[in-house]
Amino acid sequence: MTTMKDLQRRMAAGSAVAVVANVIYLATRLIITPFILVHVSLAEYGLWSFCFVILSYAGMSAFGINNAYIKYTAEYHVAGEVDKISRLLSTGLFIMGSVSLVCFGLLYLCAPWLVHLFRIDAELVDLSVVLLIGTASVFLIDLTLGAFRGVLEGLQEVVCSKTIWLITTLLEVLLIFAFLHMGSGIYGVLYAYVLKTLVDVLLNMVMAFRRLSGLRVHPALVSKASLNELFVFGGKVQILGFLGMFLGSLDRIITTGMLGLDATGLFEVGRKLPFTARSITGAASTPFLPAASAVGGWWQASPSMTVQAKVWKYLSLCIVTMLLGCAGLLPWGWEYWTGTGRQLFSLPTGVFAVWCLLALVAGIPALRTQWKLLYSGEYLEADELRGLYLRGMRYLNLINFVLYSFIIAAAPQILFAWVGSGYDEANGICFSVAVMCLIHLSTLPCSAMMRGINRSGRELEAVLINLVLMLLWGPAWTKAYGLMGTVWGVTLSTVVSTVHFIWRTNRAFRISFAEFWKQAVVVGTAPVLAGLAVYGVCRLLSAWLPDMNRWETLGVVLLLGMGYLVLCGILLRRFTLSEAEWNALTAPLLRRLGRGSSPVASKPIE
C-alpha cells in the first residue's frame, strides 16, 4: 500500500526532477535557436514557429482530458481498481484517436486554404503545407497517445515521465544538429520533432505497462462511465484553460488596440523574463494534482446546488466584483459631475446615473448571495490533504521567492545584458510583472487541491474575478497612464483574484492567517534579504561603473546570481529551514548523484 511518506518522497523527487528538466529544456532552446537560424532562413523559421502557434491553441482542446487522466488514475490506483484505469485509458484512446483522425482529415483538406488565408509567400506555399501537415500529424499522435503520460503521472511516476521528456528533448537537439549539418534545412527540424515525439510516446507507453501490472487497452473496455469522467471533469478544466488563455492575451489586445504595436513589443520585452520563470514553478507543481487526487477528502455541510443556483452564484460574483472594481476608478468619477480632471469615459451623465441605479439594484441581492456563500461554513475534512497543501505552498513559495527576488533586484542589469539599451521603460514592467507572478504562482497548490477533490469551481471564481477586474481596470488605466497603466491593471486584477482564491482555500482547510503566514510566507525572508543585498550591489555598480557593455553586464549578472544562490542557501540553512526540510529539499538531487537514500515509509494513506 502507498504510504504518506512514500507519497511525499515521490512528490519531492518529481518536483526536483521536473524543475531540473525544465531548466535544461529552456537552456537547450536558447542554444539551438541561433544554430537553426544559421542554417535556415528567417522566413522558414518564422513559418515553423507559426505552425506551433496554431498547434498550441489546438492543444488546449486536450488540456482538460489530460488532467482527467491524472486525477482518476491516481484515485483508482489508491483504491486498487486497475480495471477502471484500463477502461479510462481505453475510452480516452478511442475517443481522442477518432477525433484526431477527423481533425487530420479536415486539416489535410483545408491546408491549402489556411496557407492562402495567412498570405504565405508564393515560394513558401509548398513548404508551408508540408510543415503544417507534418507537425499536425505528429501533434495529433502525441495528443492521443499522451494518455500514457497522464497515466504515469497519475501513478506518481513524475520522475519517470519527466526523465523520458528530458531524454527525448536532448535527443531532439542532437537530431537537429545532425540533420542541419547534413543540409536538410527546415525539414531536418521537422524530422527531429517527429522522431522525438514518437520515441517519447513509445517510452511512456512501455513504462505505463511496466509500472502498472494488469493495465490493458482494448475496444471492449470503452465505457460510458469513463467517458463521463473524461469529459465532465475534463470539460470543467477545459473551460478554465480557455479562460486562462484569453486572460493571458487580454493585456496584449488592450495595448495593441489602444497604444499600438510598439507598446505591445515593449510590454513583451518587460514581461518575458518573469513569464519564462513561471515554467520552473509550474514544473515543480506537477506532482500535486495526482497527490491530491490520491489522498482525497470529504466536505462537511456541502449540499449540492442546482444548475440555476450555480449560474446565479457565478453571475452574482461577477456583479459584486464589477461594483468593487469600480472603486478603483473613483478618482476619475468626479469628471461626470464637474467635467474636470482626467477623462476616462465619454458616457453622458444621465446614462451613467441609470447604470449606477441598475448596478445597485442587482448588486444588493448579489452581495447578499456572495456573503452567504463565503461564510456558509463549508469545510474540507482531510488532515493529510491539509498537510500536503501547506507543505506544497511552502515549497513552491520558496522556489518563487528565490526566482523572483533576484529578478526584481537585478531587473535593469538583466534586461540590458539581454536586449541592450533603449528599453528603460521595460524595467518597471519587469518589476511589476515579477511581483505579480510571485504572488499569483502561490495559487498552484490551491488549483491542484481543488481539482484533486473535484472542486474546480473555486478556481473558476478566481478566474472570473480576474477577468472582470481586468476588463474594467485594463482599458481605463491604459487610457489614463499609458503602458504602465496596462501593467498596473494586469498586476492588481491578478493579485486581487489570487488573494481571494488563497483565502477560499485556507478557509476550507480551516487555516488561519497566522498559520498561513508562518508556514507559507515567512519562508521567503531569506531570498528577500539576499535579493536586497543584490539590489545594493547593483546600485553601487551602476554608480561606480556606469559604462559597462552588455557582455560585462552579463558577467556581473552571472556572478551576482551565483553569489545570490550561495547567500540564499546559507540563510535558509541557518535561519529558515529545519533539518528535515533541508534534507527533503536536497535529497532528490543527491539521490540522482547516487549519494542519497530513500525515506522509510510508515503511515498509510486512508
User: How does pLDDT run across 77-91, given as a tens digit for each residue?
Assistant: 988 899 999 999 999
pLDDT at 603 (0 to 100): 36
Query: Which residue carries 497527490 as its cell?
Result: 291
Taking the C-alpha atoms of residue 244 and residue 472, their distance in angstroms, rounded to an integer, is 17
pLDDT at 436: 94
In the chain, domain spans: 4-222, 260-302+382-587, 305-377
Return all residues near 575 (Cβ < 8 A) that are at least 6 apart: 525, 526
DSSP structure class, residue 601: P
Which triple of cell numbers denotes residue 189?
A: 527540424
The predicted-structure confidence for 490-518, as pLDDT tens digits, reads as follows 999 999 999 999 998 998 889 999 999 99
Indicate the DSSP class of residue 212: S
Q: Whole-angstrom Cα distance, residue 598 to residue 589?
A: 12
Grid coordinates given for 290: 495526482
Q: What is the reported pTM?
A: 0.82
The pLDDT value recorded for residue 606 is 35
Q: Please, which pLDDT band fits residue 13 given cuts at 50, 70 and 90?
A: confident
Q: What is the pLDDT of residues 392-417, one digit of tens each?
A: 899 899 999 999 999 999 999 988 88
pLDDT at position 522: 92
d(CA 366, CA 461) in angstroms, rounded, equals 14
User: How far apart are alpha carbons 185 and 207 in whole angstroms?
Assistant: 34
Burial letters 164-180, b for 16+ CB under 10 A, else e: bbbebbeebbebbbebb
Max Cα–Cα distance, the chain, nearest Å: 76
Structural contact between residues 309 and 472, judged by C-beta atoms closer than 8 angstroms: no
Distances (CA, A) of 18 to 24, 83, 336: 10, 29, 54
